[in-house]
Amino acid sequence: MIIAIDGPAASGKGTLARRIAQHFGFPCLDTGLLYRAVARDVLARGFRLDDIWAAVSLARSLDPATLEDDGLRAPGVGEAASRVAGIPEVRAALLQYQRDFSRKPPGAVLDGRDIGTVVCPDADIKIFVTATLEERARRRYEERRSQGEDVTYEEILELITNRDARDSGRGSAPMRRAEDADLLDTTKMDIETAFDAAVGLIKRKISQ
């Protein structure tokens, strides 16, 4: 069984995907880490993020063992990842790894931007997780403040607005809800409520 979870930054999709995977006993792939790892490798070797040749060759030689690297979750890496993710050949280089992961029995949960539309268009379950821009910015702001960062809400709002525009405006596999995906709006939900709602959706789909 393949469960595809897509959505914009700070929608709660990553936490939800991990919780759902744990609940059903499936492995979980946070596909954003692949793009983050490519961006990390591009910058670590001194290339620019718009250097297509460097990004593509590093995507082709990406070592999945390095996806555990803690530094990948740092905020600046997400921005850089969003930029290399706009390069179609980078996306093509990462596609087979994601598909292979999804097809291993007994099943898998993948979260990202294009799982339901491009990576696993035949997924058994597709959920598009969202929340209003203001709520997502508020969550990200609280998270970064709690980590001791000196940021303002307005700065985060602008970062998320730009990230949404880049991820949904690119020509190759833009972020969008698949036509057959269920929408889960978490604006007024805490993580427990969102998790219960997602499990409810999945169980209804399975029993259909």
Q: Which stretch binds ligand DC (CB under 6 A): 27-35, 57-65, 144-152, 153-161?
A: 27-35
Beta bridge partners, 175, equal none
12 binds ligand DC per the rule CB under 6 A: no
81 binds ligand DC per the rule CB under 6 A: yes
Of 44-73, binders to ligand DC (CB under 6 A) are none
Position among 2, 19, 36, 101 found at the interface with ligand DC (CB under 6 A):
36
136 binds ligand DC per the rule CB under 6 A: no
7 binds ligand DC per the rule CB under 6 A: no
C-alpha distance from residue 158 to each of 57, 78, 148 (Å) = 31, 14, 20
Burial 117-150 (b: 16+ CB within 10 A, else e): bbbbeebebbbbbbbeeebbbbbbbeebeeeeee
Minimum CB distance to ligand DC, residue 57 (Å): 19
Alpha-carbon distance of 2 to 112, in angstroms, equals 14
Minimum CB distance to ligand DC, residue 113 (Å): 4
Minimum CB distance to ligand DC, residue 207 (Å): 28
Of the pair 12, 78, the CB lying nearest ligand DC is at 78
Q: Which residues bind ligand DC (CB under 6 A)?
A: 9, 31-32, 35-36, 78, 81-82, 85, 112-114, 163, 167
